[in-house]
């Protein structure tokens, strides 16, 4: 975010920095979902049970789907905690996109 906000103009490093920030947010969401699923079993409906690599892959997919607010519905939260965290990351993903797009457009259109 530092690289994005303090840059005077839009260059490739600003675009890559904003993409990396979005990927970081998705990884934070993924590990939060994993923490919830491993501590409170069956917190998400539609994921595999017993195979950690499949659970990781499916919750990684769910993380991206939630952040982009696509929400296909094949995986969904079933407990109050998982619903609350999913809603938080859904809002965080939208806020991030609005903030980053706003910053990039303001830098692109400024004539300084």
For the chain, the distance separating the N- and C-terminal CA atoms, rounded to the nearest angstrom, is: 20
Q: List, in sequence order, every residue forming a beta bridge with 44; answer none if it has no partner.
A: 77
Name the pLDDT band for 13 (thresholds 50, 70, 90): confident
DSSP line for 3-55? HHHS-SS--HHHHHHHHHHHHHHHHHHHHHHHHHHHHSTT-EETS-SS-HHHH
Q: 77 with 44: CB under 8 angstroms?
A: yes
Ramachandran area for residue 34 (φ above 0: left; ψ -120 to 50: alpha; else beta) = alpha
CA angle 88, 29, 63 (to 5 degrees): 95
Q: Model pTM greater than 0.75? A: yes
CA distance 93 to 112: 30
Instruction: Look at 17 and 90; give whichever has higher pLDDT.
Output: 90
Name the fold adopted by 2-109: Helix Hairpins (1.10.287)
Q: What is the pLDDT of residues 58-106, one digit of tens each?
A: 999 999 999 999 999 999 999 999 999 999 999 999 999 998 888 888 8
Above 70 in pLDDT, residue 111? no
The ranges assigned to domains in the chain are: 2-109
Name the pLDDT band for 1 (thresholds 50, 70, 90): low
* Nearest Cα to Cα of residue 44 among 26, 27, 29: 29
């Amino acid at each position: 975010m530092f690289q994005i906000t303090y840059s005077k103009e839009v260059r490739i490093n600003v675009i890559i920095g904003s993409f990396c920030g979005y990927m970081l947010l998705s990884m934070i969401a993924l590990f939060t979902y994993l923490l919830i699923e491993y501590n409170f079993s069956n917190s998400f409906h539609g994921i595999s049970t017993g195979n950690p690599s499949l659970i990781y892959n499916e919750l990684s997919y769910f993380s991206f789907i939630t952040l982009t607010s696509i929400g296909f519905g094949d995986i969904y939260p079933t407990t109050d905690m998982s619903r609350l965290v999913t809603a938080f990351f859904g809002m965080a993903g939208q806020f991030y996109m609005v903030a980053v797009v706003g910053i990039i457009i303001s830098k692109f259109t400024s004539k300084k």
